């Protein structure tokens, strides 16, 4: 399908003259050649799609994704991960260095970049801050940047040494590198299985207090301010973290942050059934935290929504809750969760397509004639079944598997490829 005519799509491209209007879009050989209220064509080679009732938006970008390649391909390889990304409407992803070996040198960065070249999803590696993600010695950040790394973080391992984080911020500042912080004080959170609160007390499980996250947010804000450097907090989950970052932004500190889609809807009371698919890090918090996170999105404190896609084989999840691995797959369920959180379509597009690219300094897809197409179609009302047949990931660790969801991406156009996503 090289040529495409999309009819009657409602435009959700902020900052364009077409925003909010219903238009026809003609795509020829991957290039948008015509945008108008009505486009007439007389060519049998052009596929016509009726998009009445659907939105056309920039391709989403997920800046917190875990693929297993290299070394953990049984969880997810780049090919299967990108298939899940396309099904969720993502035309770009930033993959964290939680691999074996970790992405801590130009070799691993180049491997990922080369493996993804021909795919319809742009894959950007995030290089590790420390060698082997051990939190002891700074990795070759600039070398990885030259090879294609878009940011730096130790993945799901928080940088416990303040001195190391300070040096990373200062070093990356020299070449406009983006440093990511996974905010958790391990000495406070160590051994925790879920959020600390009423539910953890009821279940008799060690809890991870909000304080463990907030201490690290406060520390890294101080370090960023001291070094006059930028910092990004990934998957914040507490009301106090939102407030700390809100005040830091007002003060002029160069700070951004994101939130995982599941933290906008799910709370720690879901753990009562001991379903290990609800075991994530940071853990599911309380209703008060959920409401604060939603407010943080509304007022601009939180810059992006991510999936925190973390695939695991069955033996890592179908075990006792206490020993199960953290994480769920999420690429295909971000849009339904964001809609379920009551977020407006324009806000969803901003936090899933514009905000992540702005944080990482990547170009934002344009919606105008004579530019290469990078857009998706999605139906905010369409109901669909997320199950083993529609799941495109290699792994099945999601509490939403087997459930009916509302909101589905129906088409992805990127890198001169056109993909129908419904199954």
What CATH number is attached to the domain comprising 398? Answer: 2.30.40.10
69 plus 37 within the same structural domain: no
Residue 62 has a CB neighbour count (10 Å cut-off) of: 28
User: Domain span at residue 377?
Assistant: 3-56+368-420
CA distance 17 to 80: 36
**38 and 88 in one domain?**
no
pLDDT at 44: 80
Judge if 341 and 398 occupy the same domain: no
Two tokens, residue 250? 């007002």
CB of 152 closer than 8 Å to CB of 126 = yes
Pair (331, 246) in one structural domain: yes
Q: Is the same domain home to 121 and 210? A: yes
- Judged by DSSP in three states, 178 sits in coil
What is the per-residue pLDDT for 42?
A: 83
The CATH number for 310's domain is 3.20.20.140
Q: Are residues 250 and 274 in the same domain?
A: yes
Q: Choose one of 360, 385, 403: the last residue of a domain.
A: 360
Cα Rg for the chain, rounded, in angstroms? 21
pLDDT at 421: 81
109 and 21, same domain (yes or no): no
pLDDT of residue 420: 87
Alpha-carbon distance of 224 to 166, in angstroms, equals 8
| Pair 31, 102 in one domain | no
* Residue 176 backbone zone (phi > 0: left; psi -120 to 50: alpha; other: beta): left
Residue where a domain stops, chosen among 340, 360, 380: 360
Task: Say yes or no: 49 and 123 in one domain.
Answer: no
Residues 26 and 105 in one domain: no
Q: What is the pLDDT of residue 1?
A: 55
Walking along the chain (423 residues) 10 residues at a time, the average pLDDT comes out as 90 94 96 95 88 98 97 97 98 97 97 95 98 96 97 97 98 96 95 95 96 98 98 98 98 98 98 97 98 98 98 96 96 98 98 98 97 97 96 97 97 94 72
Note the pLDDT of residue 333. 98
Number of domains in the chain: 2
Residues 63 and 126 in one domain: yes
- Same domain? 22 vs 109: no
């Amino acid at each position: 399908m090289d040529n495409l005519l999309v009819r009657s799509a409602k435009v959700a491209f902020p900052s364009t003259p077409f925003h909010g209007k219903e238009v026809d879009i003609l795509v020829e050989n991957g290039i948008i050649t015509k945008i108008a209220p009505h486009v007439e064509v007389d060519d049998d080679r052009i596929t016509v799609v009726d998009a009445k009732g659907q939105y056309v938006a920039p391709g989403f970008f997920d800046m917190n994704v875990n693929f297993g390649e290299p070394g953990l391909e049984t969880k997810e390889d780049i090919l299967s991960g990108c298939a899940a990304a396309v099904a969720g409407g993502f035309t770009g992803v930033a993959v964290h260095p939680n691999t074996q070996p970790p992405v801590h040198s130009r070799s691993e960065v180049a491997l990922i970049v080369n493996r993804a070249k021909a795919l319809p999803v742009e894959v950007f590696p995030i290089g590790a801050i420390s060698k082997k993600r051990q939190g002891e010695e700074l990795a070759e950040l600039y070398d990885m940047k030259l090879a294609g790394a878009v940011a730096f973080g130790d993945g799901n391992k928080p940088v416990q040494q303040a001195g190391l984080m300070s040096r990373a911020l200062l070093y990356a500042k020299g070449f406009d590198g983006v440093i990511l912080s996974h905010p958790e004080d391990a000495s406070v959170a160590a051994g925790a299985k879920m959020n600390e609160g009423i539910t953890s007390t009821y279940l008799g499980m060690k809890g991870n207090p909000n304080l463990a996250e907030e201490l690290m947010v406060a520390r890294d804000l101080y370090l960023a301010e001291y070094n006059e450097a930028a910092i990004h907090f990934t998957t914040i989950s507490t009301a106090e973290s939102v407030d700390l970052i809100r005040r830091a932004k007002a003060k002029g500190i160069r700070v951004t942050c994101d939130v995982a889609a599941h933290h906008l809807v799910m709370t720690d009371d879901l753990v009562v059934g001991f379903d290990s698919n609800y075991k994530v890090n940071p853990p599911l918090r309380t209703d008060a935290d959920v409401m604060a996170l939603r407010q943080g999105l509304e007022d601009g404190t939180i810059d992006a929504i991510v999936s925190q896609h973390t695939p695991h084989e069955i033996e890592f999840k179908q075990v006792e809750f206490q020993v199960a691995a953290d994480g769920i797959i999420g690429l295909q369920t971000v849009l339904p969760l964001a809609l379920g959180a009551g977020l407006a379509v324009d806000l969803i597009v901003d936090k899933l397509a514009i905000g992540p690219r702005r944080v990482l300094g990547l170009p934002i897809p344009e919606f105008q004639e004579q530019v290469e197409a990078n857009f998706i179609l999605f139906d905010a009302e369409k109901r669909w079944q997320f199950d083993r047949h529609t799941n495109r990931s290699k792994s099945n660790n999601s509490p939403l598997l087997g459930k009916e969801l509302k909101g589905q991406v129906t088409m992805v156009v990127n890198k001169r490829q056109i993909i129908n996503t419904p199954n």
